[in-house]
Amino acid sequence: MKLPRTPSFRLDGKRALVTGAGRGLGLAAAAALADAGAHVTLVARGAGEITEAAEAIFAAGGAASPLVLDVLDPAQVAATLAELPSFDILVNNAGTNRPKPFLEVSVEDFDAVLDLNLRAAYFVAQAVARGMVGAGRGGSIINISSQMGHVGAVRRTIYCASKHALEGLTKAMAVDLAPHKIRVNSVGPTFIETPMTAPFFADPAFRASVLEKIKLGRLGQVEDVMGAVLFLASDASALMTGSAMVVDGGWTAD
């Protein structure tokens, strides 16, 4: 009897682009892809953290390079990426949050969150997808969403709006890009301990309220998301597109 073979999680020979790659989930995603054999280009607005991250990946035996790029500038993104070799994988990770009660959200708050979480993600994906289509090899686009793309929460109206929109964008992109063999999926983490979330968890009451909703009883770590990103980047998920992979410890289970 000939047994079926498990699809490979290896990414040897692949080129990956990760935005917001200097810290937190972006750095974790870059490390996971590099460990699987991909050459990873780390994107951020400043050189410091991504240069250090690229050096750390190289020291660990991987291949990585920093790319200073303002993802809030679609013209700069399009022009820069058009000059680079095409990518096989995109992790659309750059994002932000400004938690406020609905009645206190300003136009500036709204624009800041939606511009980075949605507008920038849209046009980075468009620029990368153009390269993928031109190369004709297909590819995998992974939008880093959130459990808040599936539920609502107090003080999270703008963030929820941006992530619900990103989930819809993921599905529509998947339909548009399927003829080019480009898969588009999202990863929706729960609260992960990162530099961005650290100030929130300094409030004991907030920390307790979060732990009460995570059924597995602990905060997420960046390592919890690395496997999901690697799975969606690799041939192990070859038939998945337009899907949402929620890594939330059971938050959205009820």
Q: What share of the chain is helix, strand, coil (3-state, %, to 5)?
A: 50, 15, 35
With cut-offs at 50, 70 and 90, classify the pLDDT of residue 7: very high
159 included as an active-site residue: yes
Q: Give yes or no for a contact between 201 and 193, defined as CB atoms under 8 angstroms apart.
A: yes
Q: How is the chain split into domains, by residue range?
A: 15-244
- pLDDT of 177-227, one tens digit each? 999 999 999 999 999 998 878 888 999 999 999 999 999 999 999 999 999
From the list 196, 199, 249, the residue with the least C-alpha distance to 220 is 249
What is the Cα–Cα distance from 69 to 72, expressed in whole angstroms? Answer: 9
Marked catalytic residue, from 24, 33, 132, 159: 159
Q: Is the pTM of this model over 0.95?
A: yes
Q: What is the pLDDT at residue 198?
A: 87
Q: Give yes or no for a contact between 159 and 189, defined as CB atoms under 8 angstroms apart.
A: no
Was domain 15-244 assigned CATH 3.40.50.720? yes
